[in-house]
Amino acid sequence: MLKVAIQSQRHWAEEPACLLTGVNEALCGNTQNQFVTAAYIHLGMDRGQFSYAAAGHPPMLLLRAGEVSQIAENGLVLALLQSAVYTSTTEPLLNGDRLLLYTDGIIEATNVSGEEFGYERLGTLLQASGGKGTEGTADLILNAVNGWSCTQNDDLTFVVCDYNRNSDERISTPGLQAV
């Protein structure tokens, strides 16, 4: 049902808040009292920027010039309230940026003492990943979370996306690698 709802909103592909609003409207009353969290990012490589919106989802992390920041543009979970409002943030894409989208199963993974993996550990890992490619970063995160957690009670889903542009290239032909 979610895939169909997203597909029906593809005309809003470049407007994350509008896309999430449309998906929410399509899902409300049709999910048998279930809800959905979501994060949506549009990479406007022709303009050298990204737009991001979320619905009850953990903030996206941005690694830029060795520093990690949270991009938290969040609204209510999907399928809960017909009148939910979503907003987007638009930021520049700079050469060398690394974006990390992830589910709460990553930060809520607990160790034997019941301590959660947390935002700080994830941010530290992302910062330490600077010299690695996307696959190496994915392995670093997955190995750290699996080593931390004694059991897996939730999904461990994430996307690592690097924006690399050679100085010879125009902004309309950037390199993008995701895993």
- In the chain, the percentage of residues whose pLDDT exceeds 90 is 80
Query: Residue 178: pLDDT band by 50, 70, 90 thresholds?
Result: low
pLDDT of residue 165: 79
Beta bridge partners of 164: 175
Average pLDDT over residues 159-174: 65
DSSP letter string over 60-99? EEEEETTEEEEE--EEPPBTS-TT-----EEEE--TT-EE
Average pLDDT over residues 35-47: 93
60 contacts 52 by C-beta, under 8 angstroms: yes
Over 90: is that where the pLDDT of 12 sits?
A: yes
> Would strands 89-92 and 158-164 be described as parallel, antiparallel, or unpaired?
unpaired
Closest CA to 59 of 100, 20, 88: 100
Between 91 and 31, where is the model more confident?
Answer: 91
Q: In whole angstroms, give the CA distance from residue 73 to residue 58.
A: 9
Query: Residue 166: pLDDT band by 50, 70, 90 thresholds?
Result: low
pLDDT tens string 141-161: 999 999 999 888 888 999 999
pTM for the full model? Answer: 0.88
Over 60: is that where the pLDDT of 174 sits?
A: no
Which strand (E) or helix (H) includes residue 116? Answer: none
Over 50: is that where the pLDDT of 49 sits?
A: yes
Q: Widest CA span of the chain, in angstroms?
A: 53
Over 70: is that where the pLDDT of 39 sits?
A: yes
Query: Residue 168: pLDDT band by 50, 70, 90 thresholds?
Result: very low
pLDDT tens string 107-140: 999 999 999 999 999 999 999 998 999 999 999 9
